[in-house]
Amino acid sequence: MNQLLTIFNSVLPISEEEQNFMKQHLFIETLKKGEKYCEQDKVCRKIGFVLEGVLRVVKTDSDGNEFIPYFTSEGHFAVAMESFTDKVPSDESVEALTNCSVATITSEAFGLFEKEVTNFSKIVHQLKEKAFIEKFKMKSEMLVDDAETKYAKLLIRQPSIIQRVPQKQIALFLGITPHTLSRLRAKV
């Protein structure tokens, strides 16, 4: 939990009193591999900060085909942001690929933090902006980069994903077959 407060404090300061208030409303959630943190077609009512483990964000189309826009692991947030912010059903799920430990902020606690913690809204705005830019850049690259370049960038950005996530999931994220991924891994 302290890791999350450290992230918030790195953006803008939060008083000791406010941090203690936040600790009273945060809780640690444990997920088993395969468990969903947020579900597609349901309103996401929590934001998680990953303390341990790897989750995938996955979208499933009407034919049952899965698409993985990104993975999230330690030190990053897990949330279906549009659903959480706008209180609408999510178009994606957030699912544990390993056993996970997540510091969770419910939508109720989030509302309390916005009212009671001086810099909370500004902190969230800056963190959302940073995440939006990262996701936009990643999505743009996924559209134009070839498979080898995508894999190389994944190795640089999230090297632990390669060792901790099944090859099938990585191939799905890269938009290639597991066989093509095996060939790429052999080259590197």
pLDDT of residue 30: 97
pLDDT average per 10 residues of sequence, the chain (188 residues): 88 94 95 96 96 94 90 91 93 96 96 95 91 80 83 87 90 89 84
Q: What is d(CA 126, CA 131) in angstroms, rounded to the nearest whole number? A: 9
Given the structure tokens 């897990």, which residue do they identify? 78
Q: What is d(CA 73, CA 57) in angstroms, rounded to the nearest whole number? A: 11
pLDDT of residue 146: 86
pLDDT of residue 12: 92
pLDDT of 46-79, one tens digit each? 999 999 999 999 999 899 899 998 899 998 999 9
Find the Cα–Cα–Cα–Cα dihedral 12, 120, 36, 97, rounded to 10°: 0
pLDDT of residue 45: 97
Helices vs strands, H then E, count in the chain = 9, 8
pLDDT of residue 46: 96
Question: What Rg value do the Cα atoms of the chain yield, rounded?
Answer: 17
pLDDT of 25-41, one tens digit each? 999 999 999 999 999 99
